[in-house]
Amino acid sequence: MVRYQQGDFAAATILIDRISPRLHRFFLAKSMSRGDADDLLQETWLQIHKVRHTYRAGEPALPWFYAIARHIRVDHYRKSLRAAAGERELEEMSKGVSSAPRQSCELQALLAPLSEGQREVIAMLKVAGMSLEEVARATSSTVGSVKQKVHRAYKKLRETIGPTGPRKWRSGGAA
């Protein structure tokens, strides 16, 4: 990363080759389409290029990359919510009826009871394979805060899943 900051674009190519698969999985873990993940990855690298001067030499680069990716993803999420709200308004005005809910994958359904922050730290730890320290840096929080979120997420998952699987699936219908 330091070489990239100094203008060595061969170093940038190496970073992109090594880090892109991890960041791509990070975006896919949030149940986005492959196309969205590709777009967000490209947007992340553009942002990294713009702010590469803010990277502090000697600090781990991976949490810095994930912090930027996280902000890109949050911005995308907010934009999509605004767009979806606008689309719903138009659809309701034209039809008078709201659209049918989308079906979600099993993982998304399993993680649904968790807060956004809990889902995020679980994805970083379990999907991206980051350490607690890296997650703390990427989320601009402390290791203790990350541990607390993870503990609460695990507790909520245990309550939801129970001994025989998720409540939704145990009862054969809605939770």
Q: Digits of tens for pLDDT over the chain (175 positions)?
A: 999 989 888 999 999 999 999 999 998 887 667 888 899 999 999 999 999 999 998 899 999 999 999 999 888 888 777 776 666 665 665 554 333 344 346 667 777 888 888 888 888 888 788 889 988 988 888 999 999 999 998 888 888 776 655 554 444 444 4
Question: End of a domain among 54, 75, 101?
Answer: 101
Cβ atoms of residues 25 and 127 within 8 Å: yes
Residue 50 sits in the same domain as residue 109: no
Residue type for 110, please? Answer: L
73 Cβ neighbours under 8 A, 6+ residues apart = 26, 27, 30, 40
> Which H/E stretch holds residue 161?
helix 143-161
Angle at 23 between CA 68 and CA 6, to 5 degrees: 60
Residue 55 sits in the same domain as residue 81: yes
The Cα 118–Cα 41 span in angstroms is 22
Cβ atoms of residues 56 and 137 within 8 Å: no
Residue 169 sits in the same domain as residue 116: yes
Question: End of a domain among 47, 82, 101?
Answer: 101
The total domain count for the chain is 2
The Cα 110–Cα 76 span in angstroms is 23
Residue 5 sits in the same domain as residue 80: yes
Residue 43 sits in the same domain as residue 73: yes
Residue 126 sits in the same domain as residue 172: yes
Residue 10 sits in the same domain as residue 96: yes
The Cα 12–Cα 32 span in angstroms is 26
- Full residue range of the structural domain in which residue 50 is found: 1-101
Residue 95 sits in the same domain as residue 110: no
- Residue 110: the pLDDT is 76
